Amino acid sequence: MRTLEIGDVITGTVTGIEKYGIFVNVEKYSGLIHISEISNNFVRNVNDYGKVGQKIKVKIVGVNKEKRQLKLSIKEFEVHSKNSKRQKIIETASGFSTMAKYLDSWISGKILEMNSKK
């Protein structure tokens, strides 16, 4: 059995899913992907990100060797994955002024859109 360290990217098997995260078995370790480590976007349903028995690639963000427990992350793996298409965000000269200028109209428009769907 190899030594698992923080920063390692590994493949594990999903063993359980709860509303707060995904449990993964990796070799002789049990691990948890907390809901906050699943995606940078809002996670409405953890079941959308894994199924029991599925193999899943994750990055180790914490290790407790005595208890054989891992803290795991999907989003950290995806950010550092070669397949991830990251774009650098370049700040514009206008900064937040565009948001300040249009925010009220965007909100009003969204409220009208939502009311029309009722």
Structure tokens at 96: 């937040």
Whole-number Å distance between alpha carbons of 14 and 48: 13
How confident is the model at residue 51, as a pLDDT? 94
Of 14 and 92, more confident: 14
Expressed in angstroms, the distance from the first to the final Cα of the chain is 58
Q: Which architecture characterizes domain 9-80 according to CATH?
A: Beta Barrel (2.40)
Of 11 and 1, more confident: 11
* CA 52 to the chain's CA centroid: 18
Structure tokens at 98: 């565009």
- pLDDT tens for 72-94 read 999 887 765 554 455 556 667 77
| Closest listed residue to residue 59, CA positions, set 98, 33, 23, 86 | 33
How confident is the model at residue 91, as a pLDDT? 66
Domain ranges of the chain: 9-80
- pLDDT tens for 19-70 read 999 999 998 899 999 999 999 889 999 999 999 999 999 999 999 988 999 9
How confident is the model at residue 13, as a pLDDT? 95
Of 88 and 4, more confident: 4
